[in-house]
């Protein structure tokens, strides 16, 4: 019973009823034995009585940095139980995924085990997949069972908005997880193995055509790293491959690459890509994906054994299905405290939150540094709520 928050007025109402008074005295005795009662400058009418549960979903930039700003700040006598749930038991530095995919670095270089955080004894970690979030019932269903919360942090990130293709198609890849990047690297080496014994030039060309869809930062970084991987590393080991049969193609729907780059810088990058022999197809869309080829702009058939899709984002499906206000890609709308309107104590940040820049009125782009900055705000506001202080934007 004593897991909720009690204002001084509700406590005084309880005092008037003998049964509630007995419960209250037992709870206060129990809490004081645990050494509970924060002695900071709390406002007395919002003081919480009883242990509280903070549940953080996701161990990416948002979740891990909330943990980092929250757990070391908590006083042991505040009686807060912090739990992180994630389907991966490591923090992933996703901005370097393309380097793993192209063999420049090892997967362990961008994954840091959550259980190695040095204040690991002060929070619980559960490796499980989130299956359903019941905001009103304060309950999260996971593959390891249900979990209750008083404060919830939604940091489940985003997924790649990939077109539906025939399930038999094996040549389409995304670059979102560590597993994706290892799959891509192994696939690239695999097609070089096949191409090295392929005698028909047409077949060899199909195997050695690499298509990347989406010329944002990730797409641009990926094609340049891919080119280096092929020309500086792989060709040394596959001498029977004719370099003239290799094609790297970057397909972009917009009329320019990396849309938010300054025009001059964008033009410079474009020139460098062309200089490196990368074919850039602007104002073009991949309209169909088939085993062994893709269709561009509804007509052109391009034989390719590799399509890496890095265009378009959608919110994590567990977030998109929540019964709250969302934007067109399924991200939940948050207020200036990064809280979900109508759900006090529920915060969202990073790629799964739609937060409008008060200056421009535009949503803040989904970036790692955005999630890191928002994590500080979320941790600070959870602490403020626990301590009965005012939240800050």
Residues that bind ligand FAD (CB under 6 A): 58-63, 85-88, 94-95, 97-98, 129-130, 155-157, 175-176, 217-218, 316, 318, 350-352, 366-369, 371
Distance CA 152, CA 106 (A): 34
Which of residues 61 and 192 has its CB atom nearest to ligand FAD in the complex? 61
Residue 130, burial from CB neighbour count under 10 angstroms (0-12, 13-18, 19+): buried
Tokens of residue 11, six digits? 């406590």
Which of residues 48 and 318 has its CB atom nearest to ligand FAD in the complex? 318
Cβ burial 179-192 (10 Å sphere, 16+ → b, else e): ebbeebbebbeebb
Distance CA 333, CA 379 (A): 18
Residues 6 or more apart in contact with residue 206 via CB below 8 angstroms? 292, 293, 303, 304, 305
Residue 116: CB minimum distance to ligand FAD, A: 15
- CA angle, 381 then 383 then 385, to 5°: 70
Which of residues 73 and 321 has its CB atom nearest to ligand FAD in the complex? 321
Distance CA 246, CA 209 (A): 6
Residue 13: CB minimum distance to ligand FAD, A: 40
Residue 21: CB minimum distance to ligand FAD, A: 43
Residue 56: CB minimum distance to ligand FAD, A: 10
Total residue length of the chain: 393
For 343, half-sphere exposure in the C-beta direction (CA atoms, 13 angstrom radius) is 26
Which of residues 28 and 368 has its CB atom nearest to ligand FAD in the complex? 368
Residue 345: CB minimum distance to ligand FAD, A: 19
Distance CA 227, CA 223 (A): 6
Which of residues 97 and 230 has its CB atom nearest to ligand FAD in the complex? 97
Residue 367: CB minimum distance to ligand FAD, A: 3
Tokens of residue 37, six digits? 């009662």
| CB closest to ligand FAD, residue no | 60
Which of residues 330 and 350 has its CB atom nearest to ligand FAD in the complex? 350
């Amino acid at each position: 019973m004593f897991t909720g928050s009690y204002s001084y007025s509700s406590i005084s109402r309880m005092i008037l009823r003998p049964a509630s008074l007995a419960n209250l005295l037992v709870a206060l005795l129990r809490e004081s034995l645990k050494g509970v009662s924060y002695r900071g400058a709390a406002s007395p009418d919002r003081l919480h009585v009883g242990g509280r549960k903070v549940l953080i979903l996701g161990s990416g930039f948002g979740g891990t940095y909330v943990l980092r700003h929250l757990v070391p700040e908590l006083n042991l006598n505040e009686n807060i139980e912090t739990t992180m749930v994630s389907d991966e038991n490591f923090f992933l530095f996703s901005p370097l995924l393309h380097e793993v995919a192209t063999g420049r670095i090892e997967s362990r270089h961008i994954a840091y085990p959550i259980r190695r955080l040095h204040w690991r004894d002060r929070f619980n970690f559960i490796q499980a997949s989130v299956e359903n979030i019941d905001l009103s019932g304060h309950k999260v269903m996971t593959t390891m069972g249900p979990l209750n919360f008083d404060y919830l942090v939604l940091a489940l990130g985003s997924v790649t908005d990939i077109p539906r293709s025939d399930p038999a198609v094996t040549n389409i890849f995304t670059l979102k997880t560590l597993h994706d990047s290892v799959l891509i690297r192994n696939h690239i080496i695999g097609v070089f193995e096949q191409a090295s014994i392929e005698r028909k030039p047409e077949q060899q060309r199909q195997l050695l055509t690499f298509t990347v869809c989406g010329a944002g930062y990730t797409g641009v970084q990926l094609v340049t790293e891919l080119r280096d991987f092929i020309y500086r590393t792989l060709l040394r080991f596959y001498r029977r491959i004719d370099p003239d049969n290799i094609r790297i193609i970057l397909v972009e729907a917009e009329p320019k690459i990396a849309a938010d780059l300054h025009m001059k810088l964008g033009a410079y990058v474009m020139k460098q890509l062309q200089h490196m022999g990368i074919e850039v197809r602007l104002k073009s869309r991949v309209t169909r994906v088939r085993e062994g080829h893709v269709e561009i702009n509804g007509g052109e058939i391009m034989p390719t054994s590799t399509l890496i899709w890095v265009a378009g984002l959608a919110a994590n499906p567990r977030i998109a299905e929540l019964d709250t206000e969302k934007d067109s890609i399924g991200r939940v709308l948050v207020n200036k405290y990064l809280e979900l309107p109508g759900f006090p104590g529920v915060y969202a940040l990073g790629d799964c939150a739609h937060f409008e820049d008060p200056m421009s009125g535009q949503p803040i782009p989904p970036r790692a540094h955005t999630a890191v900055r928002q994590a500080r705000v979320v941790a600070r506001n959870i602490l403020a709520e626990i301590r009965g202080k005012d939240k800050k934007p």
